[in-house]
Amino acid sequence: MKPHENSRDADTELELFRQHAEQLGFGRDNSLPGSVQLESSEEFIARMTRTDQDDRSPEIRNNRVVPMRWTRRRRLLAATLGLAATAALVFGVTKPGGSPAAADAPAVLDFEFASAVRIAYAPGEDARQSLDLLAAAAMASADMPPGDGQIQYKRFDNWNAELDDNGSSKVVPRLSETWLRPDGSLTTHEAVGQPLDPDGRVASGAAGKQIIDETLKPGTLDADFAQSLPTDPPRLVTALLDHSGCESRSIGDARSMCLYREIVSLTQNYVFGRDLTAAIWKMLENEAGFRSLGSVSDRAGRDAIGLSIIDASEPHVRHLLFGNPGDGQIVGYEEILIKRDPNLDTKPPSVLSFSTVLDSRLTSTGPR
pLDDT single digits (tens) 312-368: 989 999 999 999 999 999 999 999 999 988 777 778 898 989 999 999 999 999 987
Q: Decide: 86 and 175 in contact? Cβ < 8 Å.
A: no
The confidence score (pLDDT) of residue 51 equals 39
> Model pTM greater than 0.85?
no
The confidence score (pLDDT) of residue 341 equals 80
Q: Decide: 122 and 204 in contact? Cβ < 8 Å.
A: no
Residue whose C-alpha is closest to residue 355's, from 243, 264, 222: 264
Whether 1 maps to a domain, the answer reads no
The confidence score (pLDDT) of residue 73 equals 37
- DSSP letters, 128-154, are HHHHHHHHHHHHH-SS-S-BSSSEEEE
Which residues have a Cβ under 8 Å from the Cβ of 63 and sit 6 or more positions away?
222
The confidence score (pLDDT) of residue 136 equals 97
The confidence score (pLDDT) of residue 162 equals 64
Whether 75 maps to a domain, the answer reads yes
Whether 243 maps to a domain, the answer reads yes
Whether 2 maps to a domain, the answer reads no
Kindly report each contact of residues 133-137 with a partner whose C-beta sits within 8 Å and lies 24 or more positions away, as own/partner.
133/305, 133/325, 134/281, 134/305, 134/323, 134/324, 134/325, 134/328, 135/277, 135/278, 135/279, 135/281, 135/282, 135/328, 136/278, 136/328, 137/323, 137/324, 137/325, 137/326, 137/327, 137/328
pLDDT single digits (tens) 251-270: 999 999 999 999 999 999 99
Whether 3 maps to a domain, the answer reads no
Phi, psi dihedrals of residue 247, rounded to the nearest 5°: -80, -25
- DSSP letters, 9-50, are -HHHHHHHHHHHHHHTT--S--PPPPP-PPPPHHHHHHHHHH
Whether 110 maps to a domain, the answer reads yes
Q: Element (H or E) spanning 187, and its range?
A: strand 186-193
The confidence score (pLDDT) of residue 142 equals 85
Helix (H, G, I), strand (E, B) or coil at 168: strand
Work out how many domains the chain is built from and give that number: 1
The confidence score (pLDDT) of residue 298 equals 96
Q: Which residues pair with 360 in a beta bridge?
A: 154
What is the span of the domain harbouring residue 340?
Answer: 10-363
The confidence score (pLDDT) of residue 84 equals 20
What is the residue-level pLDDT of the chain in tens, covering all 368 positions?
A: 444 444 444 444 444 444 444 444 444 433 333 333 333 444 434 444 443 444 433 443 443 434 333 333 333 333 222 222 222 222 222 223 322 222 357 899 999 999 999 999 999 999 999 999 999 999 999 878 889 999 999 999 998 876 555 545 567 788 999 999 999 999 999 998 877 887 788 766 566 788 899 999 999 999 999 999 999 999 999 999 999 999 999 999 999 999 999 999 999 999 999 999 999 999 999 999 999 999 999 999 999 999 999 999 899 999 999 999 999 999 999 999 999 887 777 788 989 899 999 999 999 999 87
Whether 228 maps to a domain, the answer reads yes
How far apart (Å, rounded) are the C-alpha atoms in residues 261 and 248?
14
Amino acid at the residue 325: P
The confidence score (pLDDT) of residue 307 equals 98
